[in-house]
């Protein structure tokens, strides 16, 4: 797909019907690997056209790190090199690209992100015009709440109540913001840590909170961007 200043790869998955609304899937710090591709498959299973852009294309194109303790250092270093504003811009361009695909019905498309991608999804909601945004445990969201008035779409936030990477005060601020906005929802899984949805990361994955959060996501998308 093309951005304002270059081309990057994107993984696309179609639903069984061959068409539907679109969802841009934004990566964790590990890149677009098996987990993100499986998340795209899950969304396709719900009837969506899913597109996962390679947001590391300016740093290390195609990188997909293992979800292991050993790879964490490399993942954090790569994420620290990422220009947040450019990544949001690339994600907005990905949304525009997705909307133009003939398989996407009526140009309807949203964004869903995990971890790093959760923060970027919130950025897309601020800077772009998605039809919906779903943000899983984005650590940078609390610092962007002063721009939340610019958002014009429904937004769903997920957090773990035991997340060691995101201060509970930040989660509380996001929850308070969502409580004051009829178009926003914030759900906190009290028994979950960080990246609890990531089934490829044994040190993070928690099946029960992940299943509960995904059911919330499924129902939210069915209401706000029906397939």
pLDDT, one tens digit per residue, over 171-190 is 999 999 999 999 999 999 99
Would the CA dihedral through 42, 45, 51, 57 be positive or negative?
A: positive
- Rounded to an integer, the average pLDDT of 48-73 is 93
Going from the C-alpha of 11 to that of each of 41, 96, 221, the distances in angstroms are 10, 15, 21
**What pLDDT is recorded for position 172?**
98
Closest CA to 26 of 89, 155, 119: 119
pLDDT in tens, 141-175: 999 999 999 999 999 999 999 999 999 999 999 99
| Average of per-residue pLDDT values in the chain | 96
Q: Report the side by side order of strands in the sheet with 104-114.
A: 10-13, 49-53, 20-26, 104-114, 133-136, 155-160, 184-189
Which CATH number does the domain housing residue 152 bear?
A: 3.40.50.1820
What total of structural domains would you count in the chain?
Answer: 1
pLDDT in tens, 198-221: 999 888 999 999 999 999 999 999
* Residue appearing with tokens 């009526």: 106
Measure the CA–CA gap between 54 and 182, rounded to whole angstroms.
33
Strand (E) or helix (H) holding 117: helix 116-127
- Rounded to an integer, the average pLDDT of 6-18 is 95
| Residue 36 contacts residue 25 (beta carbons within 8 Å) | yes
What is the span of the domain harbouring residue 39? Answer: 2-224
Known catalytic residues are 115, 163, 194
- Rounded to an integer, the average pLDDT of 15-32 is 97
Reduce the DSSP state of residue 123 to 3 states and report it.
Answer: helix
Between helices 116-127 and 84-100, what is the axis angle to 10°? 70
- Beta-strand ranges (E) seen in 31-181 are 49-53, 104-114, 133-136, 155-160
């Amino acid at each position: 797909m093309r951005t304002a200043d270059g081309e990057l790869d994107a993984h696309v998955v179609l639903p069984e019907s061959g068409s539907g609304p679109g969802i841009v899937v934004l990566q964790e710090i590990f890149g677009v690997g098996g987990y993100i591709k499986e998340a795209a498959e899950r969304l396709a299973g719900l009837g969506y056209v899913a597109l996962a852009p390679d947001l590391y294309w300016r740093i290390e194109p195609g990188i997909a790190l293992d979800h292991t303790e050993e790879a964490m250092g490399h993942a954090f270093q790569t994420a620290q090199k990422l220009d947040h504003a450019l990544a949001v811009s690339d994600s907005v361009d990905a949304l525009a690209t997705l909307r133009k695909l003939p398989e996407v019905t009526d140009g309807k498309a949203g964004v869903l992100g995990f971890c790093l991608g959760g923060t970027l999804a919130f950025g897309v909601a601020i800077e772009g015009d998605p039809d919906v945004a779903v943000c899983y445990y984005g650590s940078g969201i609390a610092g962007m709440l002063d721009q939340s008035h610019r958002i014009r779409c429904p937004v769903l936030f997920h957090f773990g109540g035991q997340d060691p990477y995101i201060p509970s005060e930040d989660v509380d601020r996001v929850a308070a913001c969502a409580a004051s906005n009829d178009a926003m929802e914030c759900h906190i899984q009290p028994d979950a840590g960080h990246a609890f949805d990531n089934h490829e990361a044994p040190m993070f994955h928690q099946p029960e909170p992940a299943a509960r959060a995904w059911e919330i996501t499924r129902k939210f998308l069915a209401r706000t961007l029906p397939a």
